[in-house]
Amino acid sequence: MTASIAELLRAAGIALVDARALLRAALGVDDAYLAAHSERVPGAEECERYSGLLERRCAGEPVAYLTGEREFYSLAFKVTPAVLIPRPETELLVEIALEKIPPDAPRRVLDLATGSGCVSIAIAKHRPRARVVATEIDRAALDVARENARRHAARNVEFVESDWFGALGAARFDVIVANPPYIAAGDPHLEEGDLWFEPRRALVAGPSGLECIGPVIARAHAHLVAGGWLLFEHGHDQAARCRALLERIGFQQVASWRDLAGIERVSGGQV
Ligand SMILES: C[S@@+](CC[C@H](N)C(=O)[O-])C[C@H]1O[C@@H](n2cnc3c(N)ncnc32)[C@H](O)[C@@H]1O
């Protein structure tokens, strides 16, 4: 009996949902088109493109880099190998930030290390009266973030090339959000799955994993208005150490929030 495509894909380790996403990318169509044209036989060039994508997927390349897109907070973001692929757990950071930003007030928001721009753009779209500044050290990532802002007509985000707070002068904000690199160098997960293909600068902080979070906490205090909030994502086992750092610097209302898997994923405090 001939093996079905599903069996072949499974044998190669490709989930059907990924196979479908790659098919859409190879044909340059969306799901609605696939449903409406399910009888159409792909042409030779389309088959070649599809098998090329499947081969790259078999070699481990992340689906988001192959399709050039990933959904975050119900918005489709362009992604390239210059940026971290937006993660579902980072949506928690956006949710908590939105709780701290009233819809009707012109609050100033800073997104440190914006990558694809997913966090800053999601906040900007849900809080059109806010003025969002998004910083990033990597120029190629900034290009992607700017393109995503254009794609979503997020006109209330300004992108700034900056080493953390370096280019911001004495600017102060009502809310600072960050998803900084927080993986320890030498963590074996770095050699696995999508992480292996993602920019090291987006992932690795230093020997302990807290080498970016520590300075961000220390410097954020001087960039917040009275009553302002710092909120940041961290690793699954870093919450207690992050709360201790926040308390040592003098933050109030220090807390951690759990993601859908029940893991303390975001911590923060108020000035
Ligand atoms: C974990 S990624 C987060 C990207 C995006 N905010 C997200 O949640 O998907 C961390 C980002 O920090 C940036 N980065 C690393 N070191 C930096 C620095 N010194 N100053 C500013 N950004 C930095 C990386 O280029 C990367 O885009």
All residues at 6 or more sequence positions from 121 whose CB lies less than 8 Å from its CB, including other chains: 75, 77, 145, 148, 149, 152, 154, 157
Per-residue pLDDT reduced to its tens digit, 201-210: 999 999 999 9
- pLDDT reading at 2 higher than 80: no
- pLDDT reading at 265 higher than 50: yes
* Region label for 180, one of left (φ > 0), alpha (ψ between -120 and 50) or beta (otherwise): beta
- Cα 139 from Cα 82, distance rounded (Å): 9
Q: How far is the CA of 134 from the centre of ligand 1 (A)?
A: 10
Per-residue pLDDT reduced to its tens digit, 161-187: 999 999 999 999 999 999 999 999 999
Predicted pLDDT of residue 3: 58
How many CA within 13 A on the CB side of residue 15?
A: 6
Strands 131-136 and 108-112, how do they pair? parallel
Residue 9: band (very low, low, confident or very high) from pLDDT cuts 50, 70, 90: confident
Q: How far is the CA of 234 from the centre of ligand 1 (A)?
A: 12
Please calculate the CA angle 193-205-222 and round it to the nearest 5 degrees: 135
Ligand 1 pocket check for 235: Cβ under 6 Å: no
With 0-12 CB in 10 A as exposed, 13-18 as middle and 19+ as buried, what is 87? middle
Per-residue pLDDT reduced to its tens digit, 193-236: 899 999 999 999 999 999 999 999 999 999 999 999 999 999 99
List the structure tokens of 193. Answer: 């799955």
Predicted pLDDT of residue 5: 66
Average pLDDT on 140-151 reads: 98
- pLDDT reading at 89 higher than 90: yes
Predicted pLDDT of residue 1: 42
- Closest residue to atom 27 of ligand 1, CA basis: 115
Average pLDDT on 147-156 reads: 98
Predicted pLDDT of residue 81: 97
Domain ranges, ordered by start, for the chain = 5-59, 81-270
Q: Is the dihedral of CA 214, 202, 176, 222 positive or negative?
A: positive
- pLDDT reading at 7 higher than 80: no
Per-residue pLDDT reduced to its tens digit, 38-64: 899 999 999 999 989 998 998 899 999
Average pLDDT, the chain: 95
Superfamily of domain 81-270: Vaccinia Virus protein VP39 (3.40.50.150)
Predicted pLDDT of residue 4: 63
Ligand 1 pocket check for 180: Cβ under 6 Å: yes
- Closest residue to atom 25 of ligand 1, CA basis: 202
Which residue in the block uniquely carries the two structure tokens 């689906």?
63
